[in-house]
Structure 1
Amino acid sequence: MHALKSSSPGFCGFGEAYFSFVHKDEIKGWKKHKRFALNIVVPVGGIRFVAHDDRHNSCTKGNFFDVILGVGFQYSRLTIPPGVWVSFRGIEDLNLLMNIIPEEHDPTESENITLNSISYAWV
């Protein structure tokens, strides 16, 4: 199972790869990165990702993108560009995501807001 190659579209360099567990039915987010894209894969379980674009000059402004990633679902890489909000929910009992980012973690580089700040039905 590949995650990301240096020749892949969306590859912007390597700074850090990190893993996160997401419990079943746990919803995390909304989070937006200011400078860099996220490159996310789900090698264990299944995770539903929702992206919301509120960038002022974007042709997809106001749109939502919803996908479930994982080995038993769709195994692929999800690239979230800078400035797009993302939230996610665990589907299986054990869910693991890996995120590859082009620079080391910087807590001032991202923004977080509460789940009810963006109107989305997780049903």
Structure 2
Amino acid sequence: MMLPFVTPLKRIPTPKGDVLHGIKATDSGFEGFGEAYFTHIHHQETKGWKRHNRMTLNLICPYGKIKVTVRDEKNIVLEALLSPDQAETYQRLTVPPGYFVAFTGLAKGDSLLLNVASIMHDKNEADTVPLNYFDP
């Protein structure tokens, strides 16, 4: 199974407002286009755990700051901070099918997470478990 990975993204300064790059069809992690959708997450709230069984996720935070945790059934595989505010956190997290994902809003107020998904939403394609599912 392919591992999740982070790709640094470009922020292009322009006089009237920066351009934030997201994803190209030639980028590693692009597995086709099904749909793109945004999720709001409130400060210090956590959404998860969800495991997509066929969908590849490409997660980008265009506003705010979000911690994303990716795990398998036994261990945390990767934790990533996503935010457009700093060069080191403006990045895309690619999560192949088969991993559980949870994310927490770290910015004051709401944060916004974009998923460029490889397939269209299918309510039967994902598994959801409670946040405390992996607690010891």
- Percent identical pairs in the alignment equals 39
Mark the runs of 5 or more structure 2 residues left unpaired by the alignment.
Answer: 1-19
| 2:130 corresponds to 1:111 | no
Matching residue of 1:35? 54
Report SS of the residue matched to 1:77: strand
Shift, 1:119, TM fit: 2.6
Tell me which stretches of 4 or more aligned residues in structure 1 moved more than 6 Å. Answer: none
Name the SS of the counterpart of 2:132 in structure 1.
helix
Alignment TM-score, normalising by the size of structure 1: 0.87
Structure 2 equivalent of residue 77 of structure 1: 92
- Residue type at the aligned position of 2:49: W
Question: Is 1:14 matched up with 2:27?
Answer: no
Deviation by residue 1:87-116 (Cα, 9 ceiling, x = unmatched) = 000011220010011111100000000000
Structure 1 SS opposite 2:85 = coil
- Confirm or deny: 8 A CA contact 2:59 2:115 kept in the other structure: yes
Give the Cα separation in 2 of the matches to 1:39 and 1:25: 22
Task: Report the Cα distance in structure 1 between the residues aligned to 2:29 and 2:77, rounded to whole angstroms.
Answer: 20
Larger gyration radius, structure 1 or structure 2? 2
Question: Is the counterpart of residue 66 in structure 1 residue 79 in structure 2?
Answer: yes
